[in-house]
Amino acid sequence: MNQRKATYTICCIPTLTNTHNVITYLFVPFCLFEPCRFVVPDLVLVRRRGGLNNFRVLDQSQPDPVNTPDLPQSSRTFRVAAFVFHLGMSMLESRRGREALVMLISDAWRASDRRAQKTFIPKSNFQTDLNEARRFVDTFLAKCRAEPPNIIISDRITGEGLAQRVDWRSILGSQIGDYNPKWAAMFRLNKTVVDSAVNAAELRDVEALQKILFLLSISVAHELVHMLMGFMFGDSERLTPPVINHPPGTPRGPRAGEFGRYWEAKFFGCVVEAHHDPRDPRGSNQAGIFFGTLDGRRSFPMQHQTIMRYVQLDFTVPIYSSNIATSRISAGAVAMQDIRRPSRFPDVGGDLTPYFEMINSLPRQRVSRDGLEEIMHMAMRPEFVRPVSVRV
């Protein structure tokens, strides 16, 4: 009779063991007659991350668009930027987020013609070789952790975020190893939205703070997806195939593709949108009313408990499931980004290389593991928008 050796599966059981609402884990072995494996929730994986290395946060609110001084770690704006970058990256690094990225580049490969495929930086066929696609995704995510894009808090944009890709291979070289996110895009977050997060924290408005942090984190992930495609394409001008969108377009249709929306739909099960609430006296500074949209026609209001899970790094359940009732999107719905108004100051234009050379000569910041853990408490304890050392 064949005998199988007993092995162990390590299961992680979340437990609350401290006064800061930080989840720790009890590791319990179970004897099984099957190969040993580790069952580790996304929440554990992202909490294993260290601090943030080589991090910069810049302020673009002066009349001169290239006068963007770097902010100190003690700045509330810096801390909000660190929170949303880490949360956005953690979404991409989670199992579901990573697989959505693999599907994205595989579908983008399939939707591109042979001539375009020959110009891509990676030479593997991502349609047929998914293992190679996963390695490419992992390389990109590792580069974003090692050399995060410079985060520019800008009053020049209306959306929550914007990554303006550049032809990085003309600056750095055309090999995968040459890529550096700090030189590949001008990565901006909306100053109005970041300031709204700071104000909500100072007012101890936990629900508004959680909503704004969630929205900014989605924007970080969304714009990093665009940078992934820039990593794959090597240039900034290539158009997204219309079928890469949510909902997908047709190959010959007039509607352009959108990589970020595609990823959001795969990861969340919907695209998250914030609609303006005309009854809110905060106007363009409000968090908005959150909806998940499915096909451009139907949507559902998001439950705040879902947002709370995500800002605490729990991505185990998608936002949309088939048992959620949906309704037609109101004809009068106005997106928050359509309410915001950009500064009248001029914006950066032309060749960004001199600007990149200038900002990449600024000091780099290192956010320690403990420092990042403190920042991530902000979602439940708004006072952590300020460092413990300067809190009054």
**Domain extent for 232:** 41-390
Q: Which residue has the tokens 């949510």?
A: 246
| Residues in Cβ contact with 105 at an 8 Å cutoff, skipping those fewer than 6 apart | 126, 133, 136, 137, 228, 229, 232
Question: Please, what is the Cα angle at 231 between 358 and 105, to 5 degrees?
Answer: 155
pTM: 0.86
| Residues in Cβ contact with 84 at an 8 Å cutoff, skipping those fewer than 6 apart | 189, 213, 216, 217, 219, 220
Number of domains in the chain: 2
Q: Residues 109, 17: one domain?
A: no
Q: Residues 276, 363: one domain?
A: yes
- Per the structure block, which two tokens stand in for 355? 């600007």
Q: Residues 35, 94: one domain?
A: no
Dihedral angle over CA of 372, 378, 381, 385, nearest 10: 100
| Residues in Cβ contact with 373 at an 8 Å cutoff, skipping those fewer than 6 apart | 22
Q: Residues 33, 63: one domain?
A: no
- What pLDDT, on the 0 to 100 scale, is given for residue 387? 93
Q: Residues 65, 78: one domain?
A: yes
Is the backbone peptide bond immediately before 149 cis, with ω within 30 degrees of 0? no
CA distances from 352 to 111, 155, 184, 224 (A): 30, 18, 10, 19
How many angstroms separate the CA atoms of 229 and 235, rounded?
Answer: 9
- What pLDDT, on the 0 to 100 scale, is given for residue 244? 82
Whether the Cβ atoms of residue 219 and residue 161 lie closer than 8 Å to each other:
yes
Sign, Cα dihedral of 313, 103, 228, 250: negative
Q: What is the DSSP string of 236-258?
A: S-PPPPTTSSSS---TTSSSPP-
H or E element at residue 162: strand 161-165
- Per the structure block, which two tokens stand in for 34? 């099957």
Q: Residues 20, 79: one domain?
A: no
Q: Residues 176, 247: one domain?
A: yes
Question: Mind spelling out the 3-state secondary structure of 31-74?
Answer: EECCCCEEECCHHHHHHCCCCEEEECEEEECCCCCCCCCECCCC
Q: Residues 25, 92: one domain?
A: no
Q: Residues 144, 178: one domain?
A: yes
Bridge pairing between strands 7-16 and 23-32:
antiparallel
pLDDT under 70: residue ranges of the chain = 1-49, 247-256, 390-392
Strand partners, 52: 367
How many angstroms separate the CA atoms of 278 and 203, rounded?
Answer: 21
- Per the structure block, which two tokens stand in for 325? 């009732």
H or E element at residue 292: strand 289-293
Q: Residues 8, 66: one domain?
A: no
Q: Residues 211, 119: one domain?
A: yes
Q: Residues 197, 225: one domain?
A: yes
Going by C-alpha positions, the residue among 215, 147, 214 that lies closest to residue 185 is 147
For 251-300, the pLDDT digits (tens) are 555 456 789 999 999 999 999 999 999 999 998 899 999 999 998 789 99
